A = this chain, B = another copy of it.
Amino acid sequence: MISDFATFDARFPLGAGAGSDAIHRNPVYSYAVTQLKDDGGHTGTGLAFTLGQGNELVCRAAAFYAEQLKGHDIEELMADFGSTFQRLSNEQQFRWLGPHKGVVHLALASVTNACYDLWAKKRGVPLWKLLTDLSPEAVLNTLDLSYLEDVLNREQALRLLQACHGSAHTRSGILQQGYPGYDTSIGWFNYTDEQVRENTRRAVGEGFTAMKLKVGAADPLRDIRRAHLVREAAGEGVKVMLDANQQWTLPQALEICEQLKGMQPYWIEEPTHPDDVLAHQTLAAAIAPLRLALGEHVPNRVVFKNYLQTGCAGFIQVDAVRVGGVSEFITISLLCRQYGVPVVPHVGDMGQLHQHLVLYNHIALDHPALFLEHIPHLQPHFVYPAQVAGGIYRTPLEPGSSCDLKMYARS
């Protein structure tokens, strides 16, 4: 039984230039941490990720949700978590502050993720194993499909889960091989050209075959120069992604993407405002076959549904610490499977949580195992940091979701 909880406001200033992009010039990587404690001695840790200021608001909102879980048994909760998620996310007074977006939804992510962590720890297995061992019916019961009825009702969702389930064992080889990573830290916005060039060479040397550069400069020539610089240093065989972090207007994006085509980017990420579904639709049509990656700032399954309905997303970058946690992440992954769009999560939590979820998506939902973003800055703070070697995430084996921070770990 969940007997108590705590929240923590953890902030980690980064080194010079690290984490910077066209919009966020000086981020402080931060976690709004929820710990759920049960009377069996287990502690479930859930994270939401922010850039510093306001992290305390997420912690306070998380306490509001966590309070409502006291007295519940985690197995009982997870047997019907879809209902719990629906109830919490529609708690009527908090709902006004969203609905299903912003501070309250980040807070729900933190609490939801703590539930999944506690569940896996109590069963003594890594989260990916818990999830992949669930029956299609049991998975369905953890999901809230409301407002998706026009494209994915419960019956369709169950059929889809069942259809993938039969062949799951054929995809479990990924556990031994490890999941490919891509390196985002070669090309932070504030890094000099020389740093970017060196980082690119280092990443290739370490075995990465995909990497990302931040673009969105006031002067497009800077973007074009640096994109070609990365291409040159990485070689033709490496996938290079370009990330504008919402910086462009639609007219700018239309013009600049055309100019960036020459260096053959694998995708263009977050070209403009994350709420602007129709701008992405226009842009995607104009730059095809070059594809868009989006979703890092998309708050919930309803907006993702609209993005998928327009067909503008080449890759969906749902983040389990921005949408309402693991539950809604899986809902959106299922929706993407329905539309045949690959999921390449945004990694606000440094891959700790998402390394489990991409294994689930590949094995149980038959998503392609593309690659998972890798950002190493906060690894030293975790009890079980993600292990990435040769550009590959090694499958985590510790019980839970690998989100315990050393500073709050119980001895």
Q: A-side interface residues toward B, CB under 8 Å?
A: 23-28, 50-54, 56-58, 60-61, 64, 90-106, 146-147, 149-150, 246, 249-252, 272-279, 282, 297, 299-300, 302-303, 305-306, 309-310
Contact = CB atoms under 8 A, between A and B. Distances in A.
Contact of A251 (B57, B105, B150, B310): B150
A277 B306 contact: yes
A275 B150 contact: no
Nearest to A106: B97
A330 to B, nearest CB: 19
Contacts of A273: 99-100, 147, 302
A178 to B, nearest CB: 30
B282 A53 contact: no
Contacts of A299: 101, 275
Nearest to A30: B93
Which of A61, A92, A146 has the most chain B CB atoms inside 10 A of its CB? A92
Which of A100, A250, A273, A306 has the most chain B CB atoms inside 10 A of its CB? A273
Given A54-B94, A58-B97, A147-B249, 11 more contacts: A26-B92, A50-B97, A53-B91, A54-B61, A99-B246, A100-B273, A101-B299, A147-B272, A149-B251, A275-B306, A278-B305
Copies of this chain, whole number: 2
A277 B277 contact: yes
A147 B50 CA distance: 23
A105 B102 contact: yes
A27 B92 contact: yes
A395 B286 CA distance: 50
25 contacts: A23-B90, A23-B92, A25-B92, A27-B93, A50-B96, A51-B95, A51-B96, A52-B93, A54-B64, A54-B97, A97-B103, A97-B106, A101-B102, A102-B103, A103-B103, A147-B249, A147-B279, A149-B252, A150-B249, A273-B302, A275-B299, A275-B300, A275-B302, A276-B305, A277-B306
A102 B98 contact: yes
Contacts of A252: 149
A216 to B, nearest CB: 13
Contacts of A25: 92
Contacts of A57: 57, 60-61, 97, 103
A58 B53 CA distance: 14
Contacts of A99: 246, 273-274, 297
A212 to B, nearest CB: 18
B306 A104 contact: no
A123 to B, nearest CB: 33
Contacts of A61: 54, 57, 103
Nearest to A98: B102
Nearest to A54: B97
A78 to B, nearest CB: 25
Contacts of A309: 278
B246 A282 contact: no
B250 A104 contact: no
The 6 residue pairs across chains A and B that have the minimum distance between CB atoms = A102-B102, A53-B93, A103-B103, A150-B250, A52-B93, A51-B96
A143 to B, nearest CB: 15
Contacts of A27: 92-93, 96
Nearest to A100: B275
A95 B24 contact: yes
Contacts of A54: 61, 64, 93-94, 96-97, 104
A45 B251 CA distance: 38
Contacts of A95: 23-24, 51
A53 B94 contact: yes
Contact of A276 (B90, B92, B147): B147
A303 B282 contact: no
A94 B57 CA distance: 10
Contacts of A249: 146-147, 149-150
A23 B279 CA distance: 31
